[in-house]
Structure 1
Amino acid sequence: MLIVMCGLQGTGKSTIAAQLGLQLPAPVLPVDPVELAMWAAGIDRDQPTGLAAFVVIGALAGNMLRLGQTVIVDAVNDAEVARQQWRDLAARHEVTLRFVEVVCSDEALHRRRLAGRADNDIAGAAEPTWESVEARREGFTGWTDERLVLDAVDDVPGNVARALAYVGQG
């Protein structure tokens, strides 16, 4: 199975992905650290490192799916082209695809969570601003794929239990 975590930065999707990975168990492949590692390796930020990180994670996920493993991909996935990559990957490997979107219905909470982020280890990698997060929100409008939507105002264990039930493991 390919489980694709989606949602804006600061909603808690990585926290849920990590717990889901522990419960299944399944490897969690986060896109952001791959891009940060490219920058740390000296690849210029003007290069399409975001796209390259998606391609790298797609290749790794494909290898794991080929081995019969369930894989969890962790990324914003606000662009249709990103979500199509995961549809295509699941189809190529003839595995079930489950999208799990994490939202935060409480704007004040979302802003606090975003402001409190410090999850990268690469010097000079800026955390997203509220404005940049809001700009990405539009990428989710009109998205019609079947998906589970979890709200960050709910507790993590409850959201993980709902995700496990959705993927048929709870």
Structure 2
Amino acid sequence: MLIVTAGLPGAGKSTIAEVVGNRIGAPVVSVDPIESAILRAGIDSDQPTGLAAYLVAETIAEAVLSGGGSVIVDAVNAVEPAREQWVKLAARQQTPIKFLEVICSDAELHRERLASRGRRLAHIAEPTWHAVEQSLDEWEPWTGPTGAVPRITLDSVQALGVNVDQALAFLQN
């Protein structure tokens, strides 16, 4: 199965993806560390490093799926073309796909989490609250091919265990 996260920076996607991945034995392919590595290699930040990171993540995910495994892709996936990339991958691999959309309905909590996180990605600055607000303005509705893909929305104001249990139940159905 291809499991794809979606949500704003700092919403809790990576944490949920890591715990779910550990529980089901699926690797997590995260776009941000890939982009950091691309930048570390000396590719200029004015190049489309974000797009490159999504394409590298897709290649890794496809290799896992080709080998018969499940994989979780951890990425913002704010726009329809980004989400559609994963739908096309699942179709090519003839594998089920499900989205885990992660939100944080408490803006103050979201802001606090964002300010306190330290992912140690040397070549990517932590997004500011202003950047998160801009991302929210750019967020596209779930339409087209991704509108028909099974999706659960998890609110990270709930306890991590609650969200993980909800995600696991969703993935088993």
Q: TM-score range by the shorter chain?
A: over 0.9
- Write the letter of the residue equivalent to 2:160: V
The percentage of aligned residue pairs carrying the same residue is 51
Q: CA deviation at 1:137?
A: 1.3
Q: CA deviation at 1:117?
A: 1.4
Residue 126 of structure 1 is matched in structure 2 by 125
Q: CA deviation at 1:64?
A: 0.5
* Native 8 Å contact 1:16 1:159 kept in 2: yes
* Native 8 Å contact 1:80 1:139 kept in 2: no
Q: CA deviation at 1:52?
A: 0.3
Q: CA deviation at 1:155?
A: 0.5
Listed as ranges, the matches of 1:131-170 within 5 Å are: 131-144=130-143, 145=147, 146-168=150-172
Deviates more, 1:125-134 or 1:8-17: 125-134
Higher helix share: 2
Show structure 1 runs of 4+ deviating over 2 A.
138-142
Q: Distance in 2 between matches of 1:139 and 1:24?
A: 32
How many aligned residue pairs are there? Answer: 168
CA deviation vs aligned residue, 1:134-169 (integer Å, no higher than 9, x gap): 111134342142410000100001100100010107
Compute the RMSD of aligned alpha carbons: 1.2
Q: Distance in 1 between matches of 2:90 and 2:132?
A: 28
- Write the letter of the residue equivalent to 2:54: F
Listed as ranges, the matches of 1:20-169 within 5 Å are: 20-122=20-122, 125-144=124-143, 145=147, 146-168=150-172
Q: Distance in 1 between matches of 2:58 and 2:140?
A: 24
* Native 8 Å contact 2:79 2:140 kept in 1: no
Tell me, which stretches of 5 or more residues in structure 2 are unaligned? none
CA deviation vs aligned residue, 1:5-28 (integer Å, no higher than 9, x gap): 110011111000000000001000
Q: Distance in 1 between matches of 2:6 and 2:105?
A: 15
* Native 8 Å contact 1:101 1:149 kept in 2: yes
Q: CA deviation at 1:99?
A: 0.4
- Partner of 1:167: helix, strand, or coil? helix
* Native 8 Å contact 1:2 1:96 kept in 2: yes
Q: Distance in 2 between matches of 1:17 and 1:39?
A: 24
TM-score, structure 2 length as denominator?
0.93
Q: Distance in 1 between matches of 2:84 and 2:72?
A: 16
